[in-house]
Chain A
């Protein structure tokens, strides 16, 4: 087992790219605890803030979507109950704005005469397309780093929404003395190992909100995290609502059974 553990530990240090310089100087490069920030969807009654979802979608589309796929989200999810609350017509328009790799044409071709991939406008049944053709193309465009799928990011990270928010807003912390940022990496102490492959994605006025909300970095991060939390857990509102009805029924049912049990057992000595 020790053998296995050692192998795993080695794999880990290679995988997360903890810089050997940092290890040599014995700086603790474990990630900082996420910032304490509150979201509307927390707690047993929490729901997604509809306006924040729509603003967050705008941030995803105009900023994050340049590199990150939203693999498990389909365009028809955008007009579903408990989601960002777009109308069907809006969702269709959003879908049509994306280029989807086309099915083979009637000559069986998938590329045009220049070798470019044939595309068609998206429809509601389509999923968000990958901005890169494959993993190699994604890495080649990002100095070797692979931008992860964002449709699961909130569920796939310890710390959830607070963690993602901290990453997005954590690029301006002071670099501790003696810590050297690796080439092609950026300093972010909320990221394990402190070297992150993603350059600072959000800036003031990265997007222009149509509802007049001021687009500060904090606002953009908060909005896009709300959107990504929904993308990770689109059935949350339905789940919490059903939970209330189920629990109410069960508590009443338990009360009836308790009364029945008491009456029945009253004569047993």
Chain B
């Protein structure tokens, strides 16, 4: 897609097709010849892995939906039927439930990679913004999906999250009632969450199409963060990156399979093996691990409305990174100050995640975790503003190599 097409139809049929619906040309230019910087490292394999994750979730999810019943009196036992009576139902369900965690693990690595190498900077702003949209859709899909087994954590997680909307002044209560389809989370809520959980993955697939389209116009960024200068800087996507991505994909599947076969409940919560009961509240309501940093930010703010605003802002601020970063250099390899601040940010997200996983009144070495989460939240937002714009203005970047080929040849 970037640059003129190099496709030549080989047969009469391909010529006929090319003048009517040039699908072979599209595939040829997108997958076969797409010029890709030859210096992409390990951290660039996660785009392909994420495509795989989406496909796995959709395929396993369609099969699960053939056996699942979105009815508050039947949902829990229909999931147990899948686990016990459906042929390989346990396998399909464990692939789907662990697949969600693998999907988020991969997307976080993918996002941090983009952040480190400045892949959001011109001319790739739209790739990044579309990516933030995909991430938002993923969290919504995962949330709806977590409600479906109708265990205690499903029910109470749904109750806590939908209650956020009641923080909105005046109309909040009405919005919550409208979302629930009832005056509390119940059968109507489960039914619509199932509908949306089935819909959104296909929306994600379409937006992923835009993400890849937007990528293939300017082409990949690379660890040096400099533009491709000549054909010597690139290799055709196939076979070079198809084989490299396939190798790392299989390593990823090995990691995935260890959880599916040997620790399938590792990311789960024992409370979700108890059927939803609106009269019994679990001791600790904890979201899934991939939402914990945001949960910590939410809890660190004593005002409900402000907490919900902070939670939303923590995700939405990502969409503004292309303009918050004022540096002319993309890659943190050549940004001595930003590099450190980036790693502090990564550590900060892990610390926030830990704070979110602990009870509200927990302490560590006598310090309340709520206060640690407050400091963490300040750095989280501070990293994007004012750190990002200011560092970009005052930092002296290291000299950039002349081309992608030059430092590789120099080694």
Instruction: Using A12-B283, A247-B254, A257-B250 as known contacts, list a sample of 14 further A-B pairs with CB atoms less than 8 Å apart, ordered by residue number in A.
Output: A5-B360, A8-B156, A11-B280, A44-B262, A74-B84, A74-B85, A77-B84, A152-B80, A152-B274, A243-B261, A247-B258, A250-B250, A250-B253, A261-B244
Interface residues in A202-256 (C-beta closer than 8 Å to B)? 232, 234-235, 238-240, 242-243, 246-247, 250-251, 253-254
Listed in ascending order, the chain A residues whose CB lies under 8 Å from chain B are: 1-5, 8, 11-12, 15-16, 44, 71-74, 77, 148, 152, 155-158, 160, 192, 232, 234-235, 238-240, 242-243, 246-247, 250-251, 253-254, 257-258, 260-261, 264-265, 268-269
> CA A11 – CA B83 in complex, angstroms?
31
A269 to B39, CA, bound (A): 9
**Contact flags B160-176 to A (C-beta < 8 A → 1, else 0):** 10010000000000000
Contacts of A1 in B (CB 8 A): 298-299, 301, 304, 307-308
Inter-chain contact A243/B247, CB cutoff 8 Å: no
Q: Given the known A-B contacts A8-B285, A268-B38, are A251 and B254 also in contact in the complex, defined by CB atoms under 8 Å?
A: yes
Residues of B within 8 A of A155 (CB): 265, 270, 273
B257 interface residue, CB < 8 Å from A?
yes
> For residue B107, which residues in chain A have a CB less than 8 angstroms away from its CB?
none
Indicate if the CB atoms of B244 and A4 lie closer than 8 Å: no
In B320-361, the 8 Å CB interface with A consists of 360
The reply to whether B304 and A246 form a contact with Cβ atoms under 8 Å apart is no
- In the bound assembly, the distance between CA atoms of A254 and B253 in angstroms comes to 10
Which of B80, B160, B247, B265 is the one whose CB lies under 8 Å from A4?
B160
Cβ contacts B219-263/A at 8 Å (1 or 0 each): 000000000000000010001100110110011011001101110
Task: State A155–B302 Cα separation when bound (angstroms).
Answer: 35
Residues of B within 8 A of A261 (CB): 243-244, 247
| Chain B positions within 8 Å of A156 at CB level | 270-271, 273-274
Q: Are A253 and B250 in contact (CB under 8 A)?
A: yes
Say whether, besides A156-B274, A239-B91, A247 and B261 are in contact (CB < 8 Å). yes
Chain B contact-residue range equals: 35 or more
CB pair B273–A152 under 8 Å, yes or no, is yes
B403 interfacial contact with A, CB 8 Å: no
- Set of chain A residues within 8 Å of B254, measured between Cβ atoms: 247, 250-251, 254
- Complex A-B: 7 CB contacts under 8 Å: A1-B304, A11-B280, A155-B265, A155-B270, A192-B283, A247-B254, A247-B261
Q: Does B408 lie at the interface of the complex (its beta carbon under 8 Å from any beta carbon of A)?
A: yes
Partner of A3 from the list B77, B265, B304 (CB cut-off 8 Å) is: B304
Q: Which residues of chain A come closer than 8 Å to B91, judged between CB atoms?
A: 239, 242
Chain A residue at minimum C-beta to C-beta distance from B83: A235
> Could you say which residues of chain A place their CB within 8 Å of the CB of B257?
243, 246-247, 250
Q: Are A4 and B304 in contact (CB under 8 A)?
A: yes
User: Is there a chain A Cβ closer than 8 Å to B392's Cβ?
Assistant: no
Residues in chain B near residue A71, CB distance under 8 A: 77
List residues of B (50-84) whose CB comes within 8 Å of A's CBs: 77, 80, 83-84
Q: Which of A2, A250, A257 has a CB less than 8 Å from the CB of B243? A: A257
> A5: which B residues are within 8 A, CB to CB?
299, 360
Complex partner residue of A257 from B160, B246, B301, CB under 8 angstroms:
B246
Contact between A254 and B247 (Cβ–Cβ < 8 Å)? yes
Determine if B163 and A4 form an interchain contact, defined as CB atoms under 8 angstroms apart: yes
B239 contacts A246, CB within 8 Å? no
The residue among B91, B246, B273 with the most chain A CB atoms within 10 A of its own CB is: B273
Taking the complex as formed, is B21 at the interface, i.e. its CB lies under 8 A from any CB of chain A? no
Query: Known: A156-B270, A250-B250. Is A2-B302 also a contact (CB below 8 A)?
Result: yes
B265-284: contact bitstring with A at CB < 8 Å (1 yes, 0 no)? 10000110110000111110
B409 at the interface (CB under 8 A from A): yes
Q: What is the bound-complex CA distance between A235 and B261, given in angstroms?
A: 11
Complex formed: what's the CA distance from A2 to B298 in Å?
10
Is A243's CB under 8 angstroms from B260's CB?
Answer: yes
Q: How far is the CA of A37 from the CA of B344 in the complex (A)?
A: 42
> Which residues on the B side are within 8 Å of A3 (C-beta)?
304
Q: Bound state CA distance, A8 and B261, in angstroms?
A: 35
Are B283 and A254 within 8 A (Cβ)?
no
B46: CB under 8 A from chain A? Answer: no
In the complex, whether B264 has a CB less than 8 A from a CB of chain A is yes
A15-B244 in contact given A158-B270, A234-B84 (Cβ < 8 Å): no
Q: How many angstroms between the C-alpha atoms of A38 and B91 in the bound complex? A: 26
A240 contact from B160, B246, B262, B308, Cβ within 8 A: B262
Shortest distance from the beta carbon of A138 to any chain B beta carbon, whole Å: 14
Nearest 6 A/B pairs, CB to CB: A243-B261, A11-B281, A156-B273, A257-B247, A155-B273, A254-B250
Is B193 at the interface (CB under 8 A from chain A)? no
Evaluate contact between A264 and B90: CB separation under 8 angstroms.
Answer: no
Q: Which chain A residues lie closer than 8 Å to B251 at the CB level?
A: 254
User: Which of A1, A232, A235, A240 has the most chain B CB within a 10 Å cutoff?
Assistant: A1
Would you call A239 and B247 a contact (CB within 8 A)?
Answer: no
Distance from A6 Cβ to chain B, minimum over Cβ atoms (Å): 10
Bound: A268/B347 CA distance, A: 35
Question: For B246, B247, B265, B302, which residue has the most chain A Cβ atoms within 10 angstroms?
Answer: B247
Instruction: State the CA gap A158–B286 with chains docked (Å).
Output: 14
Nearest B residue to A127 by beta-carbon distance? B77
Chain B residues near A243: list those with CB within 8 A.
257-258, 260-262
With both chains docked as a complex, state the minimum distance between the C-beta of B367 and any C-beta of chain A, in angstroms.
20
Contact with A along B288-304 (1 / 0, CB 8 A): 00000000001101101
Residue of B at shortest CB range from A76?
A: B85
Shortest Cβ gap from B161 to chain A (Å): 11
* Alpha-carbon separation in the docked complex, A161 to B262 (Å): 16
Interface centre among A232, A235, A260 (most CB of B within 10 A): A235
Q: How many angstroms from the CA of A246 to the CA of B271 in the assembled complex?
A: 30
- Interface 1/0 per residue, B114-142 and A, CB below 8 Å: 00000000000000000000000000000
A196 to chain B, nearest CB (A): 16
Q: Which chain A positions have C-beta within 8 A of B253?
A: 250
Closest to A7 in B: B281
Compute how far the CA of A257 lies from the CA of B253 in the bound complex, rounded to whole angstroms: 13
Chain A neighbourhood of B239, CB < 8 A: 264
Closest Cβ neighbor of A8 among chain B residues: B281
A144 to chain B, nearest CB (A): 14
A265 to B242, CA, bound (A): 12
